[in-house]
Structure 1
Amino acid sequence: MDEKIIIIDFGSQLTQLIARRVREHNVYCEIHPFNHIPEIDDTVKGIILSGSPCSVREVDAPMVDLKHLISKVPLLGVCYGAQLLADSLGGNVEASTTREYGRAILGKIEDNNSLFANIAVGTQTWMSHGDTITNLPSNARVIASTDSVEMAAFQFNDVEVYGIQFHPEVTHTTDGKTLLKNFLVGICGCAQSWTSDSFVETSVAEMKEQLGDDKVVLGLSGGVDSSVAAMLIHKAIGKNLYCIFVDNGLLRKNEFEEVLESYKGLGLNVKGVNAKDKFYEALKGLTDPELKRKAIGKTFIEVFDDEAHQIQDVKWLAQGTIYPDIIESVSVKGPSATIKSHHNVGGLPDYMKLKIVEPLKLLFKDGVREVGAAMEMPTAILSRHPFPGPGLGIRILGDITAEKVRILQEVDYFFIQGLKDAGLYDGVWQAGSMLLPVQSVGVMGDERTYESVVALRAVTSVDGMTADWAHLPYEFLADVSNKIINNVKGVNRVVYDISSKPPATIEWE
């Protein structure tokens, strides 16, 4: 990269959102944990310090050598980052005596300050902190205030170092995008040259040099990430890319056939493999979600390895790993607890002996779609909702059987097709159906029934890191519920999940 912004992560849930906002300005950035800061070389144009759930007043609060960083490039501290600047360089931070959470209006802004160019007094910001800065270092001055927070923003007098106690990355800060542009372009001098077209051009050129005439094998899932990765690599090496699409028996209704058909027009070399029975056998009797994930992953690798060995002299394995996959695999405080096994990062068995190529590892999900659009890929592929690697295997709670898969495929078909028919599909980040290990009593005709319960789940989100339940119309939910109960034998009750992430996850297992 010719230029980049480094974001130092202190554990905030909003760190990835800062990165996405930076990239919206066509500026490349990287997130690094505070305890693994890379070398600040000539490509680094600026540094952003993220927020944190911690307090700078805690004994074990995350810290960095700020004096070393300040001497290098312009720096912007956000919330915890701002308080860390003040506390470490001679100021003072104390527990706030007033509530500093939610909307706050900037009543004072320093005239002609570079960070606040084109931002007027009265602009709305979003605060979220329990501590506040009570004294600034002697060589810093206040550049913006609210009624209750005098030091809402400050600047050091002799260097391009700024601190703000509000969050510019959230939409509630109405001029947050402008403030970030002022920092990135006006202060750091970024050229805003990191676009989807430039990413395609650079990636293809790099892979041509990296891969040469080597053969590459890629496991397609039908999803956005693997499809865009395949097209990028295909542009670089053409027929030397071999794609394998495995039917694990846990796909959506008709998905295997429909996905294979959709790839025909892209010129990709794709082989479909029906391995349903092998997966069902591996899953027999398993109820623990993590064991199911591992069984599905192990079986996929076995099937994929068998197919890959039928191709002579394969040197590389391609994966659709994206940037959040990488970030989620690194904790700001060392190895993180296992939330779930990831389908891309790690897990490649030693016996495969293949080198890895990951053309999307720098991108967020929306960036992946933009790159696909730049390559003129079909909207039907790019607009698809995310679908978990283990498929319906983690949407059937309890053990997996072919009959349970049939039931859930039918339920899921009515739900997803219903969203499309009602024009609601594109407004939802992800939707799916869960088959619960619960039987409920019902009445159909003159008979009492004792059949399965299914839960419908639809969420809105930007990148899947956080999500809110989709407020689908009651009329739509009533219609879908009616269709499911009338048409899917074995189901007599439908419920709708209204949990947000956090505290709930998008999937149930």
Structure 2
Amino acid sequence: MILILDLGGKFSRYIGRSIRESKVYCEIVPYYYSLEKIKAKNPEGIIISGGEPNEIVVKEKLDKEIFNLGIPVLSIGFGSEIMVEAFKGKATIPAENDYEYLKIKVDKDSLLFNGLDEELPLWMNEEYAFDVVPEGFNKIANYKNKVVAIEDEERKLYGVKFHPELEGSDEGKQIIDNFLYKVCSCGSTWNMDEFVSESIKEIKARVGDKKVLCALSGGVDSSVAAVLVHKAIGDNLTCVFVDHGLLRKYEKEQVEKVFRDEFHINLIVVDAEDRFLNKLEGVTDPEQKRKVIGEEFIRVFEEEQSKLTDIDFLVQGTIYPDVIESGMDGKVVVKSHHNVGGLPEDINFELLEPLRQLFKDEVREVGRLLGISSDIVDRQPFPGPGLGVRCLGELTKEKLDILRDADYIYRDEIKKAGLDKEIWQYFAVLPNIRSVGVTHGERTYKHTIALRAITTKDAMVAKWYPIPLDLLEKISTRITDEVEQVNRVVYDISNKPPATIEWE
């Protein structure tokens, strides 16, 4: 196991995905994680991520004794600055946040660069450098005349000023693998076959003969969680699917068919559209929407529980990005996920979250191993609050129906074009904007639909997908022709970051 100390920003997520891809288990914990907790985790290695160099608090709270534990440490970016200062060295802080791929010369005798070329293209700010190398450390890489990587071979301490974890650098991936396998002597033991078998054992042991209620949304995460728990406890699982009026077109019918007819799982369908829309009346703040929807979900499940007997557990499809973005261990919240931050404090269930440590691609792999069909495993990710976070402003049935119809047309045309497997996620948004238009020679004042399509590996970062213009035109024409209340379609070309995948 590798422990990643998160100094803030996005870097720890990239490191985590890279390590998991190498079939080594890792956990991301905050920079102020105590020495006692680190020892209790008993990691084979520690990686200190990059972060924001102006955060003085981080330097004060990160326990420098981690460098004296006898555990290999790889410090990256800002993390390497903390390490070098702990040993009375010094590093340059760049004036500009300007990164690019630079050709860096490395010492191939170092285990970190073993088996690689002497010159590597790596992502770095050229102003970054170690000005004073601490006693006991050797220089193992340089850019021009600047030292950009150091090591204390005896204590297995490494510091690098470049970012090997970022996508686009095969050499960077190999550097991380060298740290895992050659420095830390990790084995490739993290795989989803083992995860499935161990999870089933753990669920059986924890639940025993008790009854479990599953919050089934029909999305990838909750579907995989439901089938995994069903494998463990069989008919002691009851799934509740809530039609909260925020679903995509024909979604309820598909869920009923798949889980009742194909998986033979006990399924209760609750029609709660009016109830949710009443609760959401007048609510426009996106965080408040998520909180209202999350709490109402729990209330619905509590009511269903009261109709059943002896139910003690609630299954949720929480995954690792949900936990991280909702503010892991006191970190800054990007947005509340109904599976994490949106739960009321007086919840009457014990939560069962079997996928909590998995990234999205790992969840899909688990689904395939469980025999879940591609229609579900590879289906479009869909947030727990549903169209509630894709319909901006106050939610009304009229606006949701407009969005439902436009979204269905969009997804239909993408599938017909054969792009549904290539684009990771694509959906329509109703941004609560009306604009002037012309239909049949007459002035109109109708809604705008925004289209979103992105590619990503783990939902932590994402790039907008360049849908061909002729296809965009076809989609736009269909939407404005078939959805009477829409006269304008726009395309979102924002990456994550700075935007998120969802609009709210």
Partner Cα distance (1:325, 1:424) in 2: 27
Match of 1:20 in 2: 17
Amino acid in structure 1 at the alignment position of 2:233:
I
Amino acid in structure 2 at the alignment position of 1:254:
Y
Shift of residue 256, structure 1, vs aligned partner: 0.6
Shift of residue 158, structure 1, vs aligned partner: 2.5
Kindly report which structure 2 residues correspond to 1:111-122, keeping only aligned pairs within 5 A, or say none: 111-122=108-119
Match of 1:226 in 2: 222
Shift of residue 172, structure 1, vs aligned partner: 3.2
Match of 1:308 in 2: 305
Match of 1:392 in 2: 387
Q: Alignment partner of 2:383: what SS?
A: coil
Amino acid in structure 2 at the alignment position of 1:227:
S
Shift of residue 98, structure 1, vs aligned partner: 9.7
Partner Cα distance (1:192, 1:34) in 2: 26
Q: Alignment partner of 2:92: what SS?
A: strand
Q: Alignment partner of 1:40: what SS?
A: helix
Conserved 8 A contact 2:284-2:394: yes
Q: Alignment partner of 1:163: what SS?
A: strand
User: What whole-Å deviation, never above 9, does each CA across 1:26-77 have from its counterpart, x for those lacking one?
Assistant: 1100111111242324741111110011248x57645523344333311111
Given the alignment of the two structures, is residue 299 of structure 1 paired with residue 296 of structure 2, yes or no? yes
Conserved 8 A contact 1:217-1:243: yes
Given the alignment of the two structures, is residue 409 of structure 1 paired with residue 439 of structure 2, yes or no? no
Kindly report which structure 2 residues correspond to 1:57-96, keeping only aligned pairs within 5 A, or say none: 58=56, 61=59, 63-96=61-94
User: What whole-Å deviation, never above 9, does each CA across 1:434-460 have from its counterpart, x for those lacking one?
Assistant: 223222222222322222111111122
Conserved 8 A contact 2:325-2:335: no
Partner Cα distance (1:55, 1:129) in 2: 18
Match of 2:196 in 1: 200
Match of 1:44 in 2: 43
Match of 2:237 in 1: 241
Partner Cα distance (1:85, 1:243) in 2: 50
Any unmatched runs of 5+ in structure 2?
Answer: none
Q: Alignment partner of 1:139: what SS?
A: coil
Partner Cα distance (1:453, 1:302) in 2: 34
Residues 345 and 36 (structure 1 numbering): CA distance in 2 closer, same or farther, change over 3 Å?
Answer: same
Q: Alignment partner of 1:340: what SS?
A: coil
Match of 2:365 in 1: 370
Residues 331 and 352 (structure 1 numbering): CA distance in 2 closer, same or farther, change over 3 Å?
Answer: closer
Match of 2:121 in 1: 124
Give the TM-score of the pair, scaled to structure 1: 0.93
Amino acid in structure 2 at the alignment position of 1:296:
I
Cα RMSD (Å): 2.2
Deviates more, 1:110-119 or 1:408-417: 110-119
Partner Cα distance (1:280, 1:47) in 2: 48
Residues 450 and 376 (structure 1 numbering): CA distance in 2 closer, same or farther, change over 3 Å?
Answer: same
Shift of residue 433, structure 1, vs aligned partner: 1.3
Partner Cα distance (2:496, 2:95) in 1: 30
Residues 237 and 98 (structure 1 numbering): CA distance in 2 closer, same or farther, change over 3 Å?
Answer: closer
Residues 176 and 459 (structure 1 numbering): CA distance in 2 closer, same or farther, change over 3 Å?
Answer: same
Partner Cα distance (1:59, 1:359) in 2: 34
Q: Alignment partner of 1:250: what SS?
A: coil
Given the alignment of the two structures, is residue 278 of structure 1 paired with residue 284 of structure 2, yes or no? no
Q: Alignment partner of 1:456: what SS?
A: strand
User: What whole-Å deviation, never above 9, does each CA across 1:366-400 have from its counterpart, x for those lacking one?
Assistant: 11111112222111111122212221122222222
Partner Cα distance (1:52, 1:367) in 2: 26
Match of 1:447 in 2: 442
Out of 169, 173, 180, the residue aligned to residue 177 of structure 1 is 173
Conserved 8 A contact 1:216-1:241: yes
Residues 131 and 111 (structure 1 numbering): CA distance in 2 closer, same or farther, change over 3 Å?
Answer: closer
Conserved 8 A contact 1:145-1:151: yes
Give the TM-score of the pair, scaled to structure 2: 0.94
Q: Alignment partner of 1:273: what SS?
A: strand
Given the alignment of the two structures, is residue 105 of structure 1 paired with residue 132 of structure 2, yes or no? no
Shift of residue 231, structure 1, vs aligned partner: 1.2
Residues 145 and 417 (structure 1 numbering): CA distance in 2 closer, same or farther, change over 3 Å?
Answer: same
Conserved 8 A contact 1:12-1:50: no
Given the alignment of the two structures, is residue 288 of structure 1 paired with residue 289 of structure 2, yes or no? no
Partner Cα distance (2:85, 2:341) in 1: 39
Partner Cα distance (1:278, 1:415) in 2: 29
Partner Cα distance (1:13, 1:436) in 2: 27
Partner Cα distance (1:400, 1:102) in 2: 43
Partner Cα distance (2:277, 2:246) in 1: 9
> How many pairs does the alignment contain?
501
Amino acid in structure 1 at the alignment position of 2:13:
Q
Residues 216 and 128 (structure 1 numbering): CA distance in 2 closer, same or farther, change over 3 Å?
Answer: farther
Residues 72 and 129 (structure 1 numbering): CA distance in 2 closer, same or farther, change over 3 Å?
Answer: farther
Conserved 8 A contact 1:54-1:61: no
Any unmatched runs of 5+ in structure 1?
Answer: none
Match of 1:261 in 2: 257
Conserved 8 A contact 1:452-1:493: yes
Amino acid in structure 1 at the alignment position of 2:438:
V
Out of 459, 465, 472, the residue aligned to residue 470 of structure 1 is 465
Amino acid in structure 2 at the alignment position of 1:280:
L
Shift of residue 179, structure 1, vs aligned partner: 1.3
